[in-house]
Structure 1
Amino acid sequence: MKTFPYARIGGRSRRWFLAGMAAVLVAGCASLRSDYEPPAVMLDSFRLLPSEGLAPRFALGLRVVNPNPAPLPLTGLSYDVALAGQRLITGVARDLKTVPAFGESTVELQAGVDLISGVLLFQQILATSPSDEIDYRLRARLSTGGLTRLLTLEESGTLSLANWRR
């Protein structure tokens, strides 16, 4: 029968071992701040880029706001953007900036859409007048490299189509 190394520890030593492990667990839980406030991710800019193929490319500027007293190291980000109720843009990014404590940082991302979704989007844009707006929803999932620091954030609003037509 196979035994684990801690099973061979004597009675008194076993109690000290378990007490030490409990102290480490309590210290780890105490380091998780109960007053931690989730950061905010906002769509700061959204513009059409010159495309080399048939599918359109976009530049997304995301502003990440950290309302906490500790820096927020961003190790990764996945995101999707829905326009007019359709999820059109998805992407990922890695090796991002650290957002300072009580600060904000802007992340510039490039994204593309699949050809069919792009054609449908541009048909809708061309069919509307320049004063019209289009609804958007941004969903971002941030990884800060920690155990419990996978954050999902959403923002929604409207975009003016007048800025896209130049």
Structure 2
Amino acid sequence: MRKILGLSLILAILSLSACALFQHRDPLNINVVGIEPLPSQGLEMRFAVKLRLQNPNETTIDYNGVALDLEVNGHTLATGVSDQTGSIPRFSEGILSIPVSISAFSVLRQTLGLSQTQSLDNLPYVLKGKLAGGLFGTMRFVDRGTLDLPGSTATW
């Protein structure tokens, strides 16, 4: 019994010291800075979503893949992945371009989900993504807000 208790104590101390090895990182600042059309196929639309990633940390963030999901009004509208590799130096920023696809069924679901009195302006969105960085380096991010589409509401 003493051996088990001693072994448990040693494992607990080792696991606590292992946590100290992993540095705390502040979350990335993510902003959508552009959307450009890409060649489409069949019943889907394709766009390149450009993200500005700002690294407020004292260490470089390396990544080897990107995944992105865009929900609008509570429903998935667009998804995309890229096998890009790169790094964002400490206290620096970079631009990533991720191709995303929007199926005709997603557009139809969004259209049917809008009431006749609801405009395209101020629809809630959630942008979820991750920068793959190996076993302990993957960074997930979420950005929430409302769409502010110019020209979607007329004001006289």
Is TM-score (shorter-chain normalized) higher than 0.5?
Answer: yes
Q: Secondary structure of the equivalent of 2:53?
A: strand
CA separation of 1:100/1:39 partners in 2, compared to 1, >3 Å: closer, same or farther?
same
Match of 1:72 in 2: 61
Deviations 1:54-94 (A, max 9, x none): 32222211121111122111111212100121112112111
After the TM superposition, list the runs of 4 or more consecutive aligned residues in structure 1 that deviate by more than 6 angstroms.
127-131
CA distance in 2, matches of 1:50, 1:95: 20
Question: Would you say the 8 A contact 2:43–2:103 is kept in 1?
Answer: no
CA distance in 1, matches of 2:79, 2:35: 14
Q: Secondary structure of the equivalent of 1:56?
A: strand
Match of 2:22 in 1: 32
CA separation of 1:131/1:80 partners in 2, compared to 1, >3 Å: closer, same or farther?
closer
Give the C-alpha shift of residue 122 in structure 1: 5.5
CA distance in 2, matches of 1:150, 1:32: 13
In terms of mean alpha carbon deviation, does 100-109 or 38-47 score higher?
Answer: 38-47
Larger Rg: 1
Matched, 1:101 2:90: yes
Question: Would you say the 8 A contact 2:78–2:101 is kept in 1?
Answer: yes
Superposed counterparts of 1:1-166, under 5 Å: 31-34=21-24, 36-49=25-38, 51-121=40-110, 132-145=121-134, 147-162=135-150
CA distance in 1, matches of 2:129, 2:33: 13
CA distance in 2, matches of 1:129, 1:38: 34
CA distance in 2, matches of 1:96, 1:86: 29
Q: Secondary structure of the equivalent of 1:70?
A: coil
Give the C-alpha shift of residue 143 in structure 1: 1.4
Question: Would you say the 8 A contact 1:43–1:138 is kept in 2?
Answer: no
Question: Would you say the 8 A contact 1:55–1:118 is kept in 2?
Answer: no
Gaps (5+ residues) in structure 2? Answer: 1-13
Superposition TM-score, scaled by structure 1 size: 0.65
CA separation of 1:52/1:101 partners in 2, compared to 1, >3 Å: closer, same or farther?
same
Give the C-alpha shift of residue 128 in structure 1: 7.6
Superposition TM-score, scaled by structure 2 size: 0.69
Identity over aligned residues, as a percent?
A: 28
Q: Secondary structure of the equivalent of 1:132?
A: coil
Backbone CA RMSD of aligned residues: 3.3
In terms of mean alpha carbon deviation, does 116-125 or 56-65 score higher?
Answer: 116-125
Gaps (5+ residues) in structure 1? Answer: 1-22
